[in-house]
Each structure stands twice: as C-alpha cells, then as structure tokens.
Structure 1
Amino acid sequence: MNRRSLISLTVAVLAGAVLLAGSVVAIPILALLDTAAQASVCGAPPIAGATPPEPGTAHDKWDARQVTNAAVIVSVGKQMDVPAWGYVIALGAAMQESRLLNHANDNPAYPQVAALSMALPHEAVGHDNDSVGLFQQRPIEGAGSWGTVQELMTPNIAARKFYTALLKVPGWEQMRLTDAAQAVQRSGYPEAYQKHEADAKALAAHVLGLPNIDMIGGGGPAAPCGTGAFEPVPVGPNGWVQPLDKKFVVGPPFGQDRGDHKHAGVDIVGADIRGEPIRAAADATVIRVVCNTPSNNCDRDGGIGVGGCGWYADLRHPGNVVTRYCHMIQRPSVQEGQSIPAGTVIGFVGSSGNSSGPHLHFEVHTNVTDGERLSYANAVDPVQFMAAQQAPLPVR
C-alpha cells in the first residue's frame, strides 16, 4: 500500500470512529504513519527541525473526553478538505465556547431546549440562552437557526456546521484565529478566542500524531501547506539565495532618512506579497525570534507610528554576518538555536509592527561579534552585499 492510500485509509478509520455515538477514546491516529507520510498530505517533506510540543503543557491539559472531541473536530475538517489552519480555528472556538465538552442546557427560559438537551448524552451543563454543544450553537433562532438540538449536540454534525460557516467567510485563511472564529460565532467577546491559539495548535498536532501543526499548514494565516510545502530553491555559487521570490522588488532603499533614524535595510515590496514565504539567505543559526512592538502584540497588522519590527528573526551566517527579516504575518517558523540551510522557509510576509503595508524589511550586518547589537553602524546596503554574493536582489 502506498503512502497516499495509507493516509486515505487512516482518515477513513478516524472518520468512522468519530461517528459512533459512544465514548470513543481518541488517540493520535496519524502517529501510525512515519513522518514523511504525514507530511505527504501536502505533497512535501516535513519542516527541518520541527519542534514537538513540550511535555506537561499544551495537549496534556485536556482529559480523554476533550481530546476525543478535538479528534472529532479535526477529523471532520479533514473529511471536508478544510486547510489545517481551519482545524486550529475550530478547536480555538470550541475551547472558548465549551472547553471542548459537549454541553446540554438547562436554562428554564428555553424549556423545550432544556428538556431535549438534558435527555441527550452530554458532558457538561450550561445556561447561556439556548446554546448547546461543542460550539454553543443556538437551535431556535428562526431563519438563523444552526439546526436541531439533537444535531447540535452531535459533535461531528456541530463541527461540520462550524466549518460550513467558516468556509463562507471571505478571506478566512488570512485572518487571525479570533477574527475568523468571530465571523462564524458572532460572540459578545470577539477577542476571547485568540488566547487559545497555542493550545489549539498543540492539540491539533497531537490528535494528528504530528510534532508540529506547521508541517501541514496549520501554523497561521497564509501558510497553505506549511513551510515544508515549498520547493527548494537553487543556492548561488557563494552559498546565498534571495530571501523572496524574484517577482518582488526593492522599494525604499538602504540609508533612507526616516526622521529619527536611517533605514538600516531595504524593503522588498510587490502586489500580492502578503503570505509569501521568506527564506534564509544563507546557511545560518537562528539567534533571535522576537515580537517587537510597544504593545507586544504582533499577531495583527501594524501601521505607521506603531513602532517596532513586528514578528522578526535574526540569522547568524559564517563570517560574522547577520541578516534580519521583519514584519512577518505570524511567529517565525524557526526556533532560536536552530541550524538551517540556505533557502529554508523561516516565515511569511506580513505587516506587523511599524509598517505601511505587507512587505519584507531585510537587513544585512557585517563583522558582528557574538552578542553585539545590530545597528545602522554595522549595517551594509543589502542590494550591494547580495550582488557581491551573486544572489542579487531584484531592483526596479
């Protein structure tokens, strides 16, 4: 049996299991596959250096009932061919709405819902209006009803209804978890879902048997199949590659006067650049992965005057050269201390921090000793430097 067939069979087994009415015990079904087979869901090798969740945190905080419900939610997403970022959104929504427990409702203001829901198998009891189930969907909202009480308290049906609504949200793949979940749920607390992102990613990876949900594109907006899904790029004769595709061009130049400082790098810009993969410009050790804004909130677009580099990474290359990559759309896909080859996808273009729109701010610093701070004083013009490395940046 080839790997693709084995994956299809495994998904079918999991799908069949979660349709049972009883208390199926969730296990990381896809752990039966080797790492290469797991990643072939996206037709690409896994991320080099993907980091498993730390023991004692993340998925370990959920009991067997909650993990079972999470497996149902993820399995339904796979059946519907929803991208993996959708699994994370759905899990984050259910964590906020129900703590991943299938809720009945005994609110006396809705006696029919109370009678029906309490008579059905349930794991917890709530009182919020007439909301029931994993996603606290409402059964008697007239034309806006989510479905019957029995449907909404059947986890796989409730999950399908959530995904169906999510897929109708324009641009949901580019949204933060909380914005996408809110577009479906219309909660009175629209920011409440965001705090569950790390847990949702870890639990999705756990039930799939993956070390990291990034491997199949669940790492965040605009990562359609994870960093492993992008083909290798040819490395130049001096070991350097362009950090972005050649269709994008250098905009504001090195040394441009910014009033209170000079531009220590160049901005690479272009149409439809948001979500484009950013690559390590040469073999490197990751020395810094940081969210740098005054509010320490980089999981959204910034703006002029916001301050900071947003999500960024610094890479140290042979010869005391350090490169910096700013304004990523989400936390970089690499870890501090990780060694990576030239061309590794380290993140995706965004507009976090002090940014007028999606672009990559790219810096090159030379003669930087260990621990030395990066500054305009040790920065060089990336256009000239990359040209000398025979990996020229595209200029207008």
Structure 2
Amino acid sequence: MGLPPGGGGDTPQPNPAGAWLTFNPSRVELSLLPNSPTSFNVVATSTKVISAPVNVAIIDTKGVITNQTRISSSGLTYTATLNTNPALAAGTHTGNFEIRVCYDANPLVCSQPVEGSPWQLPYKITVADPASLHYARWETVIEIGPSFRDNFALSHRNGAPVVVTAGTYASQMATWTSANLGNSWTEVPTSRLPPLSRDFALASDGNAVYLSGGDEPMDPNNHLSHVWKFDGTNWTQKTAAAEFPGRSGHVMAKVGNALYVVAGSTTAGDMRNVWRSDNDGANWSQVASSLPADLGKPTCALNWKGSLLVVGDRVATSTDGATFTLTGGYPETFPKGSTQCAVLDNRLYISPSDNILKQPVQDVVSTTDLVNWQIERPRAQTGADAPGMAAVGGRLIVITGRGTSSLATYRTVP
C-alpha cells in the first residue's frame, strides 16, 4: 500500500480492459464533521480468476486517506477498509483513488500490471465547516429513581416535552412532563387514562398529544385501535375502536386538521397502509393501501410544511396521505430506520436510533429542503431509545432508557 504525493484528475477515463473488476460503491461519497475521521469500505468484485500471486496498491494523490488500509478477500470478492485523514480541512475534496493490481512485488512501481490495471475510483469527501453546524453539542442529563419506566414514547406539548408510558409494574398508563427540558420530570395527575398498551404511537400538533393503537401487555396478540387525546390536563377518548385494524409499532402524525396512522404490525405481519381522520380522531378512512417499497419500514412521522413526512430507510412526503414522493440526496451515513425526527427552526433533524449493533455508523442529519442534507454533531449512545424526539425551548431532546429503571435525557446545546 502506498500513498505517494502528487496530483490527479477527478474524472476517470473508460477502462474496457479492466471491465472484469467492478467496485461498490462506484463513487465514494462521504460527509464528515471537522476532526472526525471515519472508516469506509470499498468492495471489488472480479469475474475472472488470477492464478499467479498479485499485489495491490490504492494510490491517494491528495492525502484524503491514511496509509492504514486493510484488504481482505473471500473468493472473487475483495474488501478494502480505508480511513479518512483526520486533518482534512473543511470543504469538498474530490479526486480519484488509483487502484493498482500488479504481478511484481512492488505495486507502487507496477512494472507488471494485471490486464486493465490501474483503475480509477472517484471520490467526493465533504468536511463540514464548523460554522455551518446548527448546535454546539449534545449534553446528557441522567435521572435515576421514581420516574417513568419500561415501554414509553416521547412527544411534546405547549413548549414542553411529554412522555407517555405503559407502566407494566403499575399496571396503568402514566403521563409525565418536564418544565426544565428534562432535568426533572413530574407525573401529570389525570382523571382518565388510556387503557394499558405497549408500542403505541404518539403525535403532537403543539397543543395536544394524540395516542393510537398498541397491544395489551398481558395479551400481545390483542392489537388495539383506540385513539386518545391529551390536552395538558386530561385524556379524552376519541374512539374506543377506530376503523383501522388494531396495530402496534406504527407511526402517527397530525398535519393541519388531518390525523394520520401509518403502517405498523400485528401477529400476522407488517402492514403498510395509511389511515386518515379529519375529525380529530373520531372517524377514520383508509387513504393508501401501500407505501413506496424503497421507504422501508416507517419508523417516524411528522408535519413537514403542511405535508405528511414519513421516515424509514428513506424519507417520503405526501400532501394527502394517498400519494407519496421519495426524497433524495442523503449522505452515506443517513440514519435509516430512525424513530427520532423533529423540526426545529424550519429545519428537519433525524437522529440515529440508539442501537449498538446498528451498522454502519449513522449520523444526525438535517435539511431545510429535503434535497440538501448535512450531518450534525453526534450524541452519546448508551442504550435503546424511546421513540420520539421533541423540539422545544430551542433544543432537540431524545430520551434513552426504554425498558430500564433509569433514563437519560439527551438535549442539544444552542
């Protein structure tokens, strides 16, 4: 492996003689934070067997990667793990990695190249300007003690975060709120509560929090279709059994006067339909029987500039819940399957749902137009997140601790 100095063109020339070797990705595109080097993989696939020993070099003429490259192989597939240079300056770096496969011992000289060698792999690496980021950092508040537990979700109302929890040990639902952005939490005494249910969905229009669906803890095969509304003081039942089939693990959003329930699952499997209520959750009608396949499983939903926005493996929007448009332009580390999305100051933020097994590493991303995305400063990740993100008090708030007896509140610092 060698990294000699020099220059190089950014547009690779056609290489018919080397068509037997292809690369994934065919163009490396990365978005990085300042002073935050990252590792990335390039997979080369061959259609022919080379019987003689060969040596490989990946030539970087502009210093965007380090010389700590590792190459592994399995059959005719070769994986190179590369590391970006931690000293990369803010801005966009473009060029080509030159990949040499040679019969001689020194691929930097490569006097005996394999047919088709070298190959040019274009790259575009963007390092964010610190001044372009939209908060200074994330801070963590830990609370241990008589707080909400087990199966809960985060929403917001009237400028304050709201948590609704299915207290399995207490055998009832509970509603909590914080007047100090998560430093401490107070249970709201209400004269009425929704029936105990788990994996329900929450939605907010800023003035009220809505709850739908879930399943009974003692009978997880019994999926509910109830809809409730919390006005800050009490819960009101909008319907005990909506027209949509009972479900759990779904998403919900309030867009103008319309309330949407999207996807979810039952013991029979996943559902990908969309239901809409125009009378505050009392009556429902199906407006879509399916969703775009590329969206994947819907994991977060909200009101985006008067349209329904749904997050899964990608992002899709709809003005009526019936027809969806997939957006694009995502960075390589877009947080697929995130249960945390929120709008703060007309900017959409999506944070990776905390899961230490999730690969690859994913970033907090933001956008103002669903076309141009940028990564934001990451937060600590220590356990499974509760669904939901609140944008209140000029901050983003996420809670970790779902399924435990303690919780951590993560919030951005302006």
Give the TM-score range, shorter chain.
under 0.3
- Name the one with the larger strand percent: 2
- Name the one with the larger helix percent: 1
Could you tell me the TM-score, scaled by structure 2's length?
A: 0.20
Larger radius of gyration: 2
